[in-house]
Structure 1
């Protein structure tokens, strides 16, 4: 049976330096576990569209995110983030998926050639299931 590449190797191949992604994943999980709205907000790419009480809402700043933290990081989404095992992450050209797509992390290019990028949370949504 062929061995599948590990998550870090796949991230290196598909997205770039896995250490940058690992750091954001760990920070996100710790921030959610500690209910640290400011820490989680700092990991998000803005603007981001999320559902708050069933209504699509565009969050433009970390301050807005932190103010609406409990409505964005619902108990269900928090559980997905906290329970996600690094070795079970799905990695593709879109980024890194938590759970069934509730959260996505990806690289955000800082220049036109994308030689420099920031790793950020780009999607937060309720599960389709």
Structure 2
């Protein structure tokens, strides 16, 4: 289920970032356009958008500007003042110049990835606006113009290990635990990055393929590794540049391209 995010705050909080003002105090954003009628052929009408083509055209333009890494073009597609919600605080981005200056801190890698992965016909819509991703970004119609009205910075505790999406990691760990618990060797093998390094008594061997892993499953996935893995809570893992450590280092997980995989075992 997608997590809803608070997009408009009643109060404005000032904060600093690296010794400089993160965002200047501004006025409260305008109220979203009123809904005059329902149109069952328009999935965006609840957000005050009368013409669905208006949104899809705008959205394609926003995605292209982000994909092409053009902050100046993205800035034109934002409604000011724009709310930036981070660590339970709301900061206000007052104008294009401020947005462009702080672009990488507003449109983080996660926000960009969520936006580019989100299809226009799969967005969540309510009276507040149109939600992208898991609440990472909100689009609304203010003063009869579509624009980004809020960005929510969702913390990723696994980022230091190169994990791109925290929720994907937690799903991966949960599924791996279930597959190990059920003894589903094939599915466990699908969670492995090959060649897999297995360390035992100061020596390392490489498991080169899924077939080899399954054939030697009980020798590789020892009782201690299984015990540590099944007892591990996602919010209690140790994270470093090397990867995500499970247990006392019995198992290591990392990002391999677009996939999360187990890349090392220590028996």
Give the aligned partner of residue 176 of structure 2: 28
- Deviating above 6 A after TM superposition, structure 1's stretches of 4 or more consecutive aligned residues are 52-55
Pairwise CA RMSD: 2.0
Give the aligned partner of residue 233 of structure 2: 85
Question: Are 1:52 and 1:71, in contact at CA under 8 Å, matched by a contact in 2?
Answer: no
- 2:264 corresponds, among 100, 123, 126, to 123
If each structure's helix is expressed as a fraction of its own residues, which one has the higher value?
1
Question: Are 1:45 and 1:121, in contact at CA under 8 Å, matched by a contact in 2?
Answer: yes
Whether 1:99 and 2:238 are equivalent positions in the alignment is: no
> What are the Cα deviations for residues 50-84 of structure 1, in whole angstroms up to 9, with x where unaligned?
25799643211111101111000110110001111
Question: Are 1:81 and 1:103, in contact at CA under 8 Å, matched by a contact in 2?
Answer: yes
Number of paired residues? Answer: 111
Give the aligned partner of residue 10 of structure 1: 157
Consecutive unaligned residues of structure 1, counting only runs of 5 or more, are 1-7, 110-116
Give the aligned partner of residue 59 of structure 1: 207
Structure 1 residues 41 and 52, CA, compared in 2 at 3 Å: closer, same or farther? Answer: farther
19-28 or 72-81: bigger deviation = 19-28
Consecutive unaligned residues of structure 2, counting only runs of 5 or more, are 1-154
Q: Which has the higher contact order (CA 8 A, sep 6+)?
A: 1
Question: Normalising by the residue count of structure 2, what TM-score does the alignment of the two structures yield?
Answer: 0.39
Question: Are 1:106 and 1:119, in contact at CA under 8 Å, matched by a contact in 2?
Answer: yes
Higher-Rg member (1/2):
2
Give the aligned partner of residue 114 of structure 1: none
| CA apart distance, 1:20 | 1.8
Between the aligned partners of 2:202 and 2:218, the Cα distance in structure 1 is 13
| CA apart distance, 1:22 | 1.2
Other structure's SS at 1:9 match: coil
Question: Normalising by the residue count of structure 1, what TM-score does the alignment of the two structures yield?
Answer: 0.77
